[in-house]
């Protein structure tokens, strides 16, 4: 399983329920990477999507502890165990964790690849992703050239887990 995330220099990912910044080419990269694949996210993350709806042209799985939560166009699971059982039906390389903070933390141990957009800035934030540079289980395997959107510089990073996941 993979994960895809955009972080700032402090590994922050959001503030008050929103992304730190919207970068059109990063959004295109996200769409290109995940279209036709399985995306896993929490209910609060889904509420940030256009219209608060599941992402089009993807198999959407929402991880929510609320047994009464229902959403049209997505499957819902109430536990990590149920999620792991459900995704056995899909090739591991086609499954992406896409947020938010709690879901990333819960599922990081099951991921073997992290696709990280590193934004060269420190934003005000209240949601963070674990610092993969400080985690000996993860190694930076690839880095793009610096990209620019107005005055924002960012790079695409690919991390691989050195110790197999669960």
Which of these, 39, 7, 32, 36, lies nearest to 21 by C-alpha position? Answer: 7
Q: What is the pLDDT of residue 139?
A: 98
Each residue's pLDDT tens digit in the chain (166 positions)?
A: 999 999 999 999 999 999 999 999 999 999 999 999 999 999 999 988 988 899 999 999 999 999 888 889 999 999 999 999 999 999 999 999 999 999 999 999 999 999 999 999 999 999 999 999 999 999 999 999 999 999 999 999 999 999 754 5
Domain limits of the chain?
Answer: 2-161
Per DSSP, 127 falls in state E
Other Cβ atoms within 10 Å of 163 Cβ, number: 10
Q: What is the pLDDT of residue 100?
A: 96
Structure tokens at 132: 């993969």
What CA–CA distance (Å, rounded) separates 57 from 156?
23
Q: What is the pLDDT of residue 164?
A: 56
How would you classify residue 89: left for phi > 0, otherwise alpha for psi between -120 and 50, otherwise beta? alpha
Domain 2-161 -> CATH class: alpha beta
Q: What is the pLDDT of residue 67?
A: 86
Q: What is the pLDDT of residue 61?
A: 98
Q: What is the pLDDT of residue 50?
A: 86
SS3 assignment, position 44: helix
Q: What is the pLDDT of residue 131?
A: 98
């Amino acid at each position: 399983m993979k994960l895809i995330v955009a972080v700032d220099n402090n590994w922050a990912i959001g503030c008050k329920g929103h992304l730190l910044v919207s970068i059109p080419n990063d959004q295109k990269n996200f769409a290109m990477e995940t279209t036709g694949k399985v995306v896993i996210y929490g209910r609060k993350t889904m509420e940030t999507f256009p219209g608060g709806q599941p992402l089009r042209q993807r198999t959407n799985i929402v991880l929510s502890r609320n047994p009464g939560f229902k959403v049209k166009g997505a499957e819902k699971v109430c536990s990590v165990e149920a999620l792991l059982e459900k995704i056995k039906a899909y090739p591991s390389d086609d499954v992406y964790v896409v947020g938010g903070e709690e879901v990333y933390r819960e599922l990081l141990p099951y991921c073997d690849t992290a696709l990280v957009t590193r934004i060269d800035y420190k934003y005000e934030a209240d949601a963070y992703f674990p610092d993969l540079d400080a985690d000996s289980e993860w190694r930076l395997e690839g880095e793009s050239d610096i990209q620019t959107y107005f005055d924002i510089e960012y790079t695409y990073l690919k991390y691989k887990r050195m110790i197999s996941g669960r």
